[in-house]
Amino acid sequence: MSKRVVQEPLDGTLWLGRDGWTVCILDQTRLPHETVVRRLTSMEEVAEAIVTMQVRGAPLIGVSAAFGIALAMRRDASNGSLESAYVRLMSTRPTAVNLRWALDAMRAHLAPLAPADRASAAYAEAVRLRTADIATNRSIGEHGLKLIQDVLKRKKGKGPVQILTHCNAGRLGTLGWGTATAPMYFAHESGIPIHVWVSETRPRNQGAALTAWELGEKGIPLTVVVDNEAGHLLQRGLVDLVLVGADRVTSRGDAANKIGTYLKAVAAKAHRVPFYVAFPGTTIDWTLEDGVRDIPIEERSGREVTHVYGADAKGRPAEVRVTPPSAQARNDAFDVTPASWITGLITERGVCKATAAGMRKLYPESAPRKNAKAAVRKPRR
Ligand code: MRU
pLDDT band at 370; cut points 50, 70, 90: low
Last residue of a domain, one of 109, 132, 155: 132
Per-residue confidence (pLDDT) for residue 150, from 0 to 100 = 98
The atom number, within ligand 1, closest to the CA of 204 reads 3
Query: Same domain, yes or no, for 117 and 171?
Result: no
Query: Same domain, yes or no, for 304 and 183?
Result: yes
What mean pLDDT do residues 300-308 have? 97
Strands 194-199 and 275-278: what pairing? unpaired
Query: Same domain, yes or no, for 91 and 162?
Result: no
pTM of the model: 0.94
Query: Same domain, yes or no, for 128 and 148?
Result: no
Question: What is the C-alpha to C-alpha distance for residues 89 and 72, in angstroms, rounded to an integer?
Answer: 11
pLDDT over 90 at 343, yes or no: yes
Q: What is the CATH number of the domain that holds 159?
A: 3.40.50.10470
Q: Structural domain tally of the chain?
A: 2
What mean pLDDT do residues 102-112 have? 98
Alpha carbon of 312 to ligand 1 centroid (Å):
26
Query: Same domain, yes or no, for 35 and 70?
Result: yes
What mean pLDDT do residues 170-189 have? 98
Q: How many CB atoms neighbour CB 359 within 10 A?
A: 27
Estimate to the nearest angstrom the gap between the alpha carbon of 263 and the chain centroid.
Answer: 18
Per-residue confidence (pLDDT) for residue 369, from 0 to 100 = 74
Domain annotation covers residue 338: yes
What mean pLDDT do residues 104-125 have? 98
Q: What average pLDDT is seen over the chain? A: 94
Query: Same domain, yes or no, for 19 and 65?
Result: yes
Structural domain including 326 reads 143-362
What mean pLDDT do residues 27-51 have? 96
Query: Same domain, yes or no, for 267 and 303?
Result: yes
Domain annotation covers residue 381: no
Alpha carbon of 173 to ligand 1 centroid (Å):
6
pLDDT over 70 at 373, yes or no: no
Q: Radius of gyration of the chain from Cα atoms?
A: 20
Instruction: Tell me which residue has its CA closest to atom 8 in ligand 1.
Output: 258
Domain annotation covers residue 167: yes
* Residues in contact with 62: Cβ distance below 8 Å, sequence separation at least 6, in sequence order: 96, 98, 99, 101, 102, 103, 129, 133, 282
Alpha carbon of 117 to ligand 1 centroid (Å):
34
Domain annotation covers residue 370: no
Identify the helix (H) or strand (E) that includes residue 264. Answer: helix 261-270
Question: What is the C-alpha to C-alpha distance for residues 247 and 255, in angstroms, rounded to an integer?
Answer: 7
Query: Same domain, yes or no, for 244 and 301?
Result: yes
Query: Same domain, yes or no, for 153 and 119?
Result: no
Task: Render pLDDT for 45-83 as a digit per residue (tens, 0 to 9).
Answer: 999 999 999 999 999 999 999 999 999 999 999 999 999
Query: Same domain, yes or no, for 40 and 178?
Result: no
Domain annotation covers residue 331: yes
The residue whose CB lies within 8 Å of the most ligand 1 atoms, and thus the one to mutate among 31, 55, 134, 257, is 257
Task: Render pLDDT for 238-248 as a digit per residue (tens, 0 to 9).
Answer: 999 999 999 99
CB 128 within 8 A of CB 76: no
Per-residue confidence (pLDDT) for residue 379, from 0 to 100 = 45
Q: What is the CATH number of the domain that holds 23?
A: 1.20.120.420
Alpha carbon of 146 to ligand 1 centroid (Å):
23
Question: What is the C-alpha to C-alpha distance for residues 54 and 72, in angstroms, rounded to an integer?
Answer: 19
Domain annotation covers residue 53: yes
Instruction: Tell me which residue has its CA closest to atom 2 in ligand 1.
Output: 57
pLDDT band at 152; cut points 50, 70, 90: very high
pLDDT band at 371; cut points 50, 70, 90: low
Last residue of a domain, one of 82, 102, 132: 132
What mean pLDDT do residues 10-33 have? 92
Provide residues with CB under 6 Å of ligand 1.
Answer: 56-59, 96, 167, 169, 173-174, 178-179, 206, 245-247, 257-258, 333
Query: Same domain, yes or no, for 90 and 168?
Result: no
| Percent share of the chain, pLDDT over 90 | 92
Catalytic residues: 247
Domain annotation covers residue 258: yes
Domain annotation covers residue 164: yes
pLDDT band at 315; cut points 50, 70, 90: confident
CA angle 275, 333, 211 (to 5 degrees): 55
Query: Same domain, yes or no, for 180 and 61?
Result: no
